[in-house]
Amino acid sequence: MVIVVLIADCFMDDMKFCIENFGCQMNEHDMDKMASLLAGEGMQRVEDAKKADIVIVNTCCIREKAEQKFYSLMGRLRDAKEKKGTIIGVTGCIAQMEKEDILQRLPFIDFSLGPSNIHKIKKAIDQAMRDEPLLDFSENGCNESLLIRPGYGQDSVKAYVTIMKGCNNFCTYCVVPYVRGRESSRDSRDILQEVAALGGRGIKEVTLLGQNVNSYNNARDDISFPELLEKINAIDGIERIRFVTSHPRDLSPELIGCFGRLEKLCEHIHLPFQSGSDRILKLMNRGYSAAEYIAKVEALRDRRSGIAVTADCIVGFPGEDEEDFGKTMDLIERIQFDGIFSFAFSPRKLTAASTMPGKVPPAKAFERLHRLQKLQREITLSRNKAMEGRTAEVLTEGVSKNSNEELTGRTRTNKIVNFRGPLAMMNRIVEVAIVKGYANSLKGEGAKLKEVQAC
Ligand code: SAH
Ligand code: SF4
Ligand code: F3S
């Protein structure tokens, strides 16, 4: 046994790992955190699971489809394990949901860690090499998993910072409170230190992450979310601030006010509405009405004209009839969102909605979803077309996926812009004239470097 440990340790440097990721931005950030911890141990990250000695699957269970994708990937990984003895670990929300039971369905895995335990990734691998599977699903508030600061490449200009975790809202359809635990906010001094360090090493855009960032520090004696934004706004080097995700109920007048006065706060908010029917919103336990949602969006638009509003919504929630769905369509017409992520309701284990009466047949739910998506595609296109003839500030972040000759980046309103420009403009803030609006992006021309801070 001891010999195995020694062999494992001395080969650690040569080990290749791959992380397959599913789920939200929080999960993506967790993946980056684990990757940087392992890179810090001298291990090499590879994209192709077939070339890896260790495969970590960071999971999501928000909808059934995410779970299905995970289990079908695990079927393929089991073959890899049988052929070349790959170490396979499961992290994230399915790990937390299933806990030890995961071994019944996937007896071949070597470790499993819930989202609050990702800082133990190296220990889990070490133990797997000694054939001592680590299974850890402990929940301990604002722990080390939140404090890991992932490394960024030399040229990186965008970074994510977790400011809180978990959720106390218990929307009746949602599994997140069961897998990410209760809300817990990170100390503001620690967050501000992290953002200052990012600003000092060339990061221009920071996105603050949490399941419900608007309730940051609601339960702690520390600064509020608007105060945190104000302090970040004063940090040198940082030129753009974003945050995700907001709950409409917790969108306070102070936070709305931030959009009017903090020049680095980008003109975009992702504000899920879920349904336009008050009856369904009540069944969902969302804590606001459609009229209150509309009033908040109007207040945001008053404060910052041109602010882009995107959202999530669910169709086919139990009990939803044509009239309820019609109200959702009306809300979409009324708000004219820049984009919507829309989903058919998927019953989730442990949630109240999974046993509610009035199940909507899947064919009906998908038919509504298609109608909604058609309407939103038209609105998105018309909003993008309305940008034609305007100038936009773009933070470039790569080469366009459609053409090697074009750069790509995002406006402050979070819209993708592709434009011709020299490679020297990569990772810089530029101004471009928008000449065409498409369904998913904008086309720009005449890019000029803009190094003065945007207002
Ligand atoms: N914390 C965020 C996001 C949660 S999950 C928030 O509160 O907005 C992202 C989106 O997935 C949700 O906004 C919701 O639209 C969707 N979603 C969550 N549970 C779902 C379910 N059971 N079925 C279908 N969509 C769901
Ligand atoms: Fe889920 Fe609602 Fe919490 Fe968002 S606010 S994570 S939808 S329970
Ligand atoms: Fe999925 Fe967990 Fe995020 S369920 S959406 S990865 S919080």
pLDDT digits (tens, 9 = 90+) for 269-315: 999 999 999 999 999 999 999 999 999 999 999 999 999 999 999 99
Residue 288 CA, ligand 3 centroid: distance in Å = 23
Ligand 3 within 6 A of CB of 272: no
Q: Which residue's C-alpha comes closest to atom 1 of ligand 3?
A: 60
The CATH number of 391-449 is which of 3.90.950.20, 2.40.10.500, 1.20.59.10, 2.40.50.140?
Answer: 2.40.50.140
**Omega before residue 245 within 30° of 0, cis:** yes
Which ligand 1 atom sits closest to the C-alpha of 341?
Answer: 15
Q: How many CA atoms lie within 13 A of 122 on its CB side?
A: 15
* Among 186, 177, 113, 98, CA closest to 144: 186
Ligand 1 within 6 A of CB of 245: yes
Ligand 2 within 6 A of CB of 214: no
Residue 379 CA, ligand 3 centroid: distance in Å = 28
Domain spans of the chain, in order of start: 4-136, 144-385, 391-449
CATH topology of domain 4-136: Rossmann fold (3.40.50)
pTM of the complete model: 0.94
Q: Which residue's C-alpha comes closest to atom 4 of ligand 2?
A: 211
Ligand 1 within 6 A of CB of 62: yes
pLDDT value at residue 408? 96
pLDDT value at residue 10? 44
* Among 45, 4, 269, CA closest to 127: 4
Ligand 3 within 6 A of CB of 26: yes
Ligand 3 within 6 A of CB of 434: no
Ligand 1 within 6 A of CB of 190: no
Residue 252 CA, ligand 2 centroid: distance in Å = 17
Parts of the chain with a pLDDT under 50:
1-10, 453-455
Token output for 381: 């296109």
By most ligand atoms within 8 Å of CB, the mutation choice from 169, 183, 270 for ligand 2 is 169
Residue 359 CA, ligand 2 centroid: distance in Å = 21
Which ligand 3 atom sits closest to the C-alpha of 115?
Answer: 2
CATH 3.30.43.10 fits 144-385, yes or no: no
Give the tens place of pLDDT for each residue, 124-182. 999 999 999 999 999 876 678 888 998 888 889 999 999 999 999 999 999 999 999 99
By most ligand atoms within 8 Å of CB, the mutation choice from 243, 270, 310, 314 for ligand 1 is 314
Residue 27 CA, ligand 3 centroid: distance in Å = 7
